Amino acid sequence: MAYFVIAGKPDCEAFVHGVYVARYLEENLPHFKAHIIQKKLGDWEPWLEEINWKYKWHHSYSPLIWKELSMRGGIPHYLGGLSEFWEYCYDYYGLESIISPDDLHKMVEDNMQYFREIEKGEAEKHKNIRQIGIIGLYTDPILSAILIEMIEISDLRKSGGMKIKLYDIHGDVNETMEIVDDIIEDIKPYATIGNLDVLTVVEKMQDILTDCELLIVLGDYSRRDDEMETDWLIRNMSAMFMLSDEINVFAKRDLRVILALDGPVCFNASTLIDTCTSIRIQNIVAITSDVGLGPLKWAAKQANIRLEELSAPPVWGFIGINQFVDLRSAIICSDVYRPYQRVIRNKGGSTLPLGTIETELRFAAYLIEEPEKALETATSGRKKIKKHLHRQPMLAKVRSLISLLKLWYAKEPSDSVISLGICSNGSFGIPAGIAFSQPAILNKNLWVPFKNFPITEKTIQEISQLIPAVSEITEKMNVGPYSAASLPSYYL
């Protein structure tokens, strides 16, 4: 079987002539197959340069023709341009092709019209697909857990579905593809067959950011045992600088960035807010509510109530460096008996209802006597899990990320308040312009601080005690230069 690939520009006469002959041979020879690649003018040169680099060729014009041995995608054997293709066709098949200039010109016009229709159809199809990018280390088991739930979020898909592109900053593409194949096997029991083709591995950051609507950053950026704090922060800052450089060049204005990493997540988000000038800063968020999920279990145990009756407590701080989990402000769903007036007059024996049972939301402060003990127990438990697994616990982070995605992409606006690392606007006494974990709410599909969140004097004191260390770090590392007066007008 002879497999030929003919690549070129759709307005190139030599390319169109070669395609015409290849199609003729396909129809008349049972063992001749041709694959056609058309690249418009702006894409042709970069594509040709990449092919030359990949196969160590030195081709410089349209068309480029090669033969693949045994099967489509087999070992490529370089032929050259149209003249070399003619020579091959004459030697093997005794075929000569002569077309008048007028006929060839008409063929080029027809091909251009066909190419434009194909481009239009691809653009429409591409427009209706949600483009999602995930960067990080794929050996991290959090990826499988996230994908299992992400592909089942119906609101995350557009009418044409969704496409998830994966990029491993430090990995080899072939190794990454093998890992992704294993991940696909893992998620098969949880996903419909149609969802298994949503994953692709890309080789460059540009490939993941072009047309990307949602970017999720994973990975372990936590401090190493032998690492000084300054060196640790510089390492994290350098990684965010590299990411922001790519975002500023290739990303769309409305790109949403979610940092779901371990380590100084608010510091990293602050760095992106400082350096990403091409996207909205309210679209840069850091997962922080997972910090409150661990203590919640111990608080429920201490208060002798079911865990599902408690909502996650507010999480404040520069997560990864310092934080305060306000367990006393966790919300509990309580069943409250509300009697009618007839209870006062009832002398017994009445068959009429005497009241109703209603659900009421209350702060859990009156049930949690020792929040510090619950926080200490949760912290020590997390350290034990990390030591046993040789990695950070992941389930709380997965749960928080999926909850965020469901809120952010819900078809109906939500008034839910969640803890999230977002750009501060000065609320609660937090310095403006840095990413700080605090209660957040959606405003016109952008995350902003929920300044009306009720807090106690004790909470205000705890927040104020976090600020000096945060200010010292941001000043030392020259991060978060914004002030309330210098924030962009679209943010205020």
Percent of the chain surpassing pLDDT 70: 74
Closest Cα to residue 372, out of 439, 458, 436? 458
Domains of the chain: 2-124 (3.40.30), 128-287 (3.40.50.720), 291-476 (3.90.110.10)
Can you read off the two tokens belonging to residue 387? 């030591």
| pLDDT tens, position by position, 164-223 | 888 887 666 666 666 666 666 666 665 554 455 577 778 788 889 988 999 999 988 989
242, containing H or E segment: helix 229-250
| pLDDT tens, position by position, 311-353 | 778 899 999 899 898 877 776 666 666 666 655 666 666 666 6
* Phi, psi of 81, rounded to the nearest 5 degrees: -105, -155
Where does residue 55 fall: left (phi above 0), alpha (psi -120 to 50 degrees), or beta otherwise? alpha
CB 68 within 8 A of CB 3: yes
CB 16 within 8 A of CB 46: no
Query: Among 14-28, 150-164, 362-376, 425-439, where is mean pLDDT lowest?
Result: 362-376
- The three state secondary structure string of 258-305 is EECCECCHHHHHHHHHHHCCCCCHHHEEEECCHHHHHHHHHHHHHHCC
Q: Which residues 6+ apart lie within 8 Å of 154 measured at CB?
A: none
Predicted confidence (pLDDT) at residue 450 exceeds the cutoff of 70: yes
Q: What is the pLDDT of residue 313?
A: 84
CB 265 within 8 A of CB 258: no
Mean pLDDT of 457-463: 89
Rounded to whole angstroms, how far apart are CA atoms 109 and 128? 29
Q: What is the pLDDT of residue 489?
A: 38
Mean pLDDT of 346-367: 64
**pLDDT band at residue 363 using 50, 70 and 90 as cut-offs:** low
Predicted confidence (pLDDT) at residue 392 exceeds the cutoff of 70: no
Predicted confidence (pLDDT) at residue 492 exceeds the cutoff of 50: no
CB 436 within 8 A of CB 317: yes
Rounded to whole angstroms, how far apart are CA atoms 56 and 50? 10
**pLDDT band at residue 103 using 50, 70 and 90 as cut-offs:** confident
Q: What is the pLDDT of residue 406?
A: 94
